[in-house]
A and B are shown apart, each in its own frame.
Chain A
Amino acid sequence: MSLVADVSTPAGRPRKPPPSPALLIGLAVVLAITLWAGLSIEFTLAPLFTDLTRGKVIIDQFLRPEWDFLLRPAVAAAFLETLYIAILASLGGCILALLLAMLASKVSAPNTLVYRITRGVLSLVRSLPDVAYGLLFVAVLGTGALPGVLALIMFNIGVAAKLTGETIDSIDPGPVEAVEAAGGNRLQRARWAIFPQVAPNYLSYCFYVFELNIRASLVLGIVGAGGIGTLLYTLLARFEYSQVSAIVVLLFVVVFILDQLSRALRRRLS
């Protein structure tokens, strides 16, 4: 009756091994770092309770959005500016990203040096967040839509060139070799052997970048790079919370619709 000899581990079935010491140590380290970080910034949930009562007036205003405000021409203009910034930046960023992606993949780069340098430059570009580019261009060019567009272009290059470059890495090299064997030059190989293979993915990244841009241009507006973000910032500074909440609701709807459109398009591409 060896079958019932050990109920917990039926015959021949290996027992589940205990968690590895490395895992336990890792968990302890994560916990310690979290505690340490929380203590260092004196993290406390207290304001949530004390300030919530103080902020009752503000919340009351927030809960009564001033819908009429949305009809003012300045609001439509600000929304349109955000849209234009996002479209221009997506176009500029994606075109530049395609060129850089061609240099950032071993498959299409003219040599290893160019490939290494481009990869380096791209990770440098990615290391700054969009807001940092916003601040940088606003400092250099003053406030307005132009610094917003430029900041987003830098941000888009970082995202789209990396994704497209990785897609190029994984293409079928056969057609590239075929065009090379037929006497085609490097640009012709990129155009006719590489681009058709990555086009659906590339377009999908462009729409994705556009989605990111709508959101990012909000934050950029707050640092003075134009659009709806700048309007929001002004209203907040004037304590016009009813108007702020009306805009936030509209913003939510607009971003949601644009996201869904862009996603539907991306789904059709893949």
Chain B
Amino acid sequence: MVIEFDGVGVTYPNGVRGLDGVSLTIPDGQFVVVVGLSGAGKSTLVRTINGLVPVTAGRLTVNGHALNGARRRELRALRARIGMIFQSFNLVTRTSVMNNVLMGRLHATGTPRSLLGWYSAADKETAFDALERVGIVEKAWQRASTLSGGQQQRVAIARALAQKPEIMLADEPVASLDPPTASAVMSDLQRINRELGITTVVNLHFLDLARRFGDRIIGMRAGKVVFDGTGEEADDSVFEDIYGRSLTAEDVIAKEPGALA
């Protein structure tokens, strides 16, 4: 699905500007990485796409559907087609992995049935498929709390995949993971993007991961898009410009010396 920002602004109820005149077109199937310092507006940008944050200026459309002023029902229908994963995984850790993944099928299940947890056989099959795709199907009946961080994030990806989404949003998906796990989870997201053609927008603050995985890098500062180009174009001086400071060891996930060229 195509995502189109046209002069989009977000002003939070407390007056803080989250986004300021953002215009972007994200074509179908692209893998986009959004970078910027903390507070630059990355989360705000990603959350406007599924309407978790309401747009207050400009126009935002997803596959031609306007998010401005969308009704609750329309918004739910749109969200059903957009998967999202989060920095803190946002699993219900007290329940099984399977129950968490099946939450991705709630949108396709009638309310009375879903309250009883009475999912269709096809929905369960979809959930197993999704778990297989992230390689943890053997954990299906385990309590989510017994899994490691990397495994929990994979469950979260499976939950999003179970929606059969056309867009995947990820808000700092690897910020709580150790470097090898972070790379592995990013590879999973990339593979899913390639295999299923799901348009993917990922927020990151590690520039090496951004260069490695992004077909396209969008740099943000103070709610504005300050860079939009490919990974090759985004050299260190571009990142220094996006961050408004010189680069430090904190900006890369690979801790070996010389990672900052």
A interface, CB within 8 angstroms of B:
172, 174-175, 177-185, 187-188, 191-193, 196-197, 199-200
Contact = CB atoms under 8 A, between A and B. Distances in A.
A191 B79 contact: no
A242 B180 CA distance: 78
B72 to A, nearest CB: 8
25 contacts: A172-B90, A175-B90, A175-B92, A177-B86, A178-B86, A178-B91, A180-B79, A181-B52, A182-B79, A182-B80, A182-B103, A182-B163, A183-B77, A183-B80, A183-B107, A184-B106, A185-B106, A185-B111, A192-B99, A192-B114, A193-B103, A196-B94, A196-B95, A196-B99, A200-B94
B58 to A, nearest CB: 22
Chain B contact patch, size range: 20 to 34
Contacts, number: 80
Given A178-B86, A178-B156, A178-B159, A183 B92 contact: no
Contacts of A199: 94
A182 B159 contact: yes
Nearest to A189: B106
Given A196-B99, A197-B94, 7 more contacts: A175-B92, A177-B52, A178-B156, A179-B103, A182-B104, A182-B106, A187-B115
Interface in B83-108: 83-84, 86, 88-92, 94-95, 99, 103-104, 106-107
B198 interface: no
B200 interface: no
B103 A178 contact: yes
Interface of B: 50, 52, 76-84, 86, 88-92, 94-95, 99, 103-104, 106-107, 111, 114-115, 156, 159-160, 163, 169
Contact of B115 (A172, A182, A183, A188): A188
B177 to A, nearest CB: 16
A181 B111 contact: no
Contacts of B156: 178
A183 B159 CA distance: 12
Contacts of A192: 92, 99, 103, 106, 114
B15 to A, nearest CB: 19
B106 A183 contact: yes
A147 B91 CA distance: 44
